[in-house]
A = this chain, B = another copy of it.
Amino acid sequence: MNLKDLSIKKLEERGVSLDSMAALALSLQKKYTENLTLEDCKSALEMVLGKREVTYAILTGIAIDQAVEKGLFDVEITNIIKEDNPLYGIDEILALSIVNVYGSIALTNFGYLDKLKPGIIGEVDLMGKNHEGCSTFLDDIVGALVAATVSRIAHNEKT
């Protein structure tokens, strides 16, 4: 299985579908791009997921979340990550490896999504807060994927 398909499979196993991310990208960008459809957003998202560095960030972040869930790390770092303290910051940094590649439109959308946690991002975040699993890294990764998708659409629109 290639890295893109593996990443999509992992995201779906953690409750994050391509449609839920595309829907969020659509809601953010539709007022700027005329006649934007869910299909457009989904195909932009698939382009984002085709980048190797993007898949590395997804697979690493999910691996950390799963290791924390299963108690595989030392207890001190497990507790820090599980708590998802806003001062932890490593989850946002890892997501930046996705965001940086897509420039400043991606960056501001990422900040916005991370602060308001709309749609699927809020669902993923709650999953962690309700202790149904650890989603410390996943919510930031999903925010980064949506932000990168929005930026990709905005750049194509304006070129």
Contacts and interface: CB of A to CB of B under 8 A. Distances in A.
B116 A111 contact: no
Interface in A16-40: none
| Chain A, interface residues (CB within 8 Å), range | 35 or more
Interface string A75-115: 01100110001111110111011001101110111111111
This chain: how many copies in the complex? 4
A131 interface: no
A114 B63 CA distance: 25
Name the prevailing secondary structure of the A interface residues. Answer: helix
A66 B90 CA distance: 17
17 contacts: A3-B76, A53-B87, A53-B103, A56-B90, A59-B76, A60-B77, A66-B73, A86-B158, A87-B155, A92-B108, A93-B94, A96-B107, A97-B104, A108-B114, A109-B115, A111-B114, A112-B112
